[in-house]
Amino acid sequence: MTPDAVVLNRIYSNEQNCDEFVSPEQSLKISLTRIERRGFAKAVFLCRPNIEVAARNLAKVISHLFPSVNEEGFLLDEALKAACEAYEEAAACAASDAESMTAFFKAMLEVVVEQLPQWRVHAVMPNGSTIACPPCISIFDWIKKRQAERVVYTKHGVRVSQEERQALRIMLTSALLSFADIVHLQQGQGKTT
């Protein structure tokens, strides 16, 4: 048995049938509705479409079904809630558009970087075998390509080094933003590229 193998002789508390997965757009709407920030986010997204794209891309990577570390909520919900609060706080301090956008993205990213390494995600195939899902790819595309029946989330519990966290930040940033948006965010922090 490999370290990433999952024992399948029981039902896990964190598993979903693949038919429970909806589009990334719908996942984003579900999470924003659960945290009661849909109206706020809609106003932000209207003015900052690149933030909406980043949030939708995050929903594409983890979906609204990915559990949070405390297993009482969902990772996308927690990331979006932190992002909305960071944006609101930056805007209240008269931050520039770029600074507010940077605050939204960084808060969303940090929640995911903190929690994502604590989980392993596996697809359960029709024959009962499992396949580990690599991080930072679209879970929707991956499930469809594999023709999986279920997705199982298991706690990993291994400490992650700062270097691994930084690598995950880089991977997620490249999965969520275009190069132009990354440059724009860097400029919003007062950095030059």
The Cβ of residue 66 has, within 10 Å, a number of other Cβ atoms equal to 27
pLDDT at 6 over 70: no
Question: Which letter does DSSP use for residue 182 in this model?
Answer: H
Distance CA 90, CA 140 (A): 33
Distance CA 171, CA 168 (A): 5
Select from 93, 24, 20 the least CA-distant residue to 52: 24
Query: Which residues touch 9 (CB under 8 Å, ≥6 apart)?
Result: none
Name the token pair of 176: 């969520």
Distance CA 137, CA 156 (A): 19
Give the per-residue pLDDT at 190: 47
Name the token pair of 84: 């909305």
Sheet holding 15-17, edge to edge: 15-17, 150-155, 119-124, 130-132
pLDDT at 81 over 90: yes
The domains of the chain are located at 15-188
Determine the topology of domain 15-188 in CATH: Hypothetical protein af1432 (1.10.3210)
Distance CA 37, CA 126 (A): 38
Give the per-residue pLDDT at 9: 45
Select from 21, 81, 29, 88 the least CA-distant residue to 56: 29
pLDDT tens profile 46-55: 988 899 999 9
pLDDT tens profile 17-38: 999 999 999 999 999 999 999 9
Whole-model pTM?
A: 0.86
**CB-CB contact of 146 with 131 (8 Å):** yes
Tell me what percent of the residues of the chain surpass a pLDDT of 70.
89
Distance CA 16, CA 65 (A): 8
CA torsion sign, 66 to 72 to 76 to 79?
Answer: negative
pLDDT tens profile 107-133: 999 999 999 999 999 999 989 889 999
Amino acid type, 27 = S
pLDDT at 157 over 90: no
